[in-house]
A and B are shown apart, each in its own frame.
Chain A
Amino acid sequence: MPFRFIEHCLSEAFTSMRRHWLMSMAATVSAAISVAIFGLLVLIVLYIRSAVIHESEKVNHMRVYLHNSVTEQQARELQRRIQRWVLVKSVRFVHKDEGLKEMEAAMGDNISLRNLAGGNPLPHRLDVVAVNFEDAVECAKRLERLPGVESVICMADVVRQLSRIFGLVRLCGLTLVIITALATLTLIANAIRLTIYARREAIRIMQLVGATIWFIRAPLLLEGLVYGLIGGAFASLMVYGAHTSLLRLVETNKILLTLFHVAVPNWHFFASLTVVGLIFGLLGSLSAVNQLVRYLS
């Protein structure tokens, strides 16, 4: 029985695909395009996310300048307190003398700040690193409220901007993916509906001679799965090709290369696109076949 069942499903599904080759091709091509768009969007999101994370290593650093009245002991006490925060990765105490040296080093050898009237004007400082860049803004706000803190310098605006861009890309990507997915599902469902219409007599006969509902619907589901599978496989090839070409293109551009070397997807990513196609095919055919099942019951 299982062998005959499989034989029946394969023969019915492929016969129907051969007869309605134009609709079958439309469904397959549309599945390929949607899955390719899906794959490209995921790639873009992946790269932007990786780039953002890469850059965030710089922007999640904060400099906390303390009041001049804060002693070294009080500053170290504050350091221990901040270190206990979940949002904080590390805190380093920078003595005001060390701060002065850093400033001199940054300004160049020909400028000396040691002979300033009144001695070292700099306060003690804490260098805080947030766990991730998304938390840096919140962390900076909390640091500003601490007693003894004069000011907090962090690249909050950059962080906010990056967060916003990243969120926007994710939202646009998701919207596009949903739209293309719906279009694909509709096309695959329509291809199956056409098959059902073309095979209405055979389905009626099957229904009347006592074929089980699975015997009737399995070939139709298989047909949808094949559209999705072939479409998904083509899409993964397209995305792989586009990705490889793009990498070759940016190989000569150092700025772009810093972005693109971050997260190169492996073959699992491209294989999973075929699975996405398969899922599209299954869902599209399920929606059409369920209508038929409701009608038959």
Chain B
Amino acid sequence: MIQLHNVTVKFKGGIVALRDASFTVNKGEFVFIVGPTGSGKSTVLKLINRELLPTSGKVIVNGINVATLRPSQVPFLRRSIGFVFQDFLLLQDKTVWENVAFALKVIGAMRSEIRDAVCSALQLVGLIEKWDAYPRQLSGGEQQKVCIARAIVNNPLILLADEPTGNLDPDSSLEIASLLERVNQRGTTVVVATHDKYIVDFLKKRVIELRNGTVVRDEPEGVYRGALSLH
């Protein structure tokens, strides 16, 4: 589903965000990418989502080399990828329903299609009762659930989450982790960039650890300990 072959990303000023990184994420897998701040976790997600292009190496997503995609084709790649943000990025002037529906509306989905998909996404995240609430009326955990609902409403093949529990308390974090696992159980490949020890240890999924842009650990049922030892 996702393959990184000897990927290096260099920014202006000579900063190396990723150094010769290689790994494969299979269809339906759940992967944590861990590491301290600045280790290259977000860079990996941006490469998969084609927000960044590798300086060298190849990034293959769903059989497509993202570097060779024309700008006009990028939106179509992104329709197969859901994205969850640390800061939720919800539109404050739209209700829960409208926020989730927005993701389908802007890709030109039919009204009936939007209604069914939003309903089922909100049911999955357990927020159907609060469909008409505004983001400011929700707790942090609930806002993140809305963000997840928006990311999965299009039934993406891949779900990318960048520090999804960064702004949440431990209880809410575990709730979000469980939700991500449920999404994964539906067949969606989930890649979570995090430095949240609790959710990594709680789910015991595959862990890829980055350190200064280099892959230093790749364990099938890992825990966070490796990343902790770096501090």
Contacts and interface: CB of A to CB of B under 8 A. Distances in A.
Interface of A: 1, 4-5, 8, 201-202, 204-213, 215-216, 297
Nearest to A199: B91
Contacts, number: 55
B108 A208 contact: no
A211 B91 contact: no
A8 B103 CA distance: 13
Contacts of B74: 297
A212 B77 CA distance: 11
23 contacts: A1-B108, A8-B105, A202-B102, A205-B102, A205-B103, A205-B106, A205-B150, A206-B106, A207-B78, A208-B49, A208-B78, A208-B83, A209-B78, A209-B102, A210-B79, A210-B107, A210-B154, A211-B107, A212-B72, A212-B107, A213-B75, A215-B107, A215-B108
A201 B103 CA distance: 12
A1 B105 CA distance: 10
Contact of A201 (B72, B91, B111): B91
Contacts of A204: 89
A245 to B, nearest CB: 45
Contacts of A5: 108
Given A210-B107, A210-B154, 10 more contacts: A4-B111, A201-B89, A201-B91, A210-B75, A210-B79, A211-B75, A211-B106, A211-B107, A212-B107, A213-B75
A209 B102 CA distance: 9
B71 interface: yes
A37 B154 CA distance: 51
Given A201-B89, A205-B89, A208-B78, A213 B108 contact: no
Interface string B163-178: 0000000000000000
Contacts of A210: 75-79, 107, 154
B82 to A, nearest CB: 8
A212 B76 CA distance: 8
Contacts of A297: 71, 74
A202 B91 contact: yes
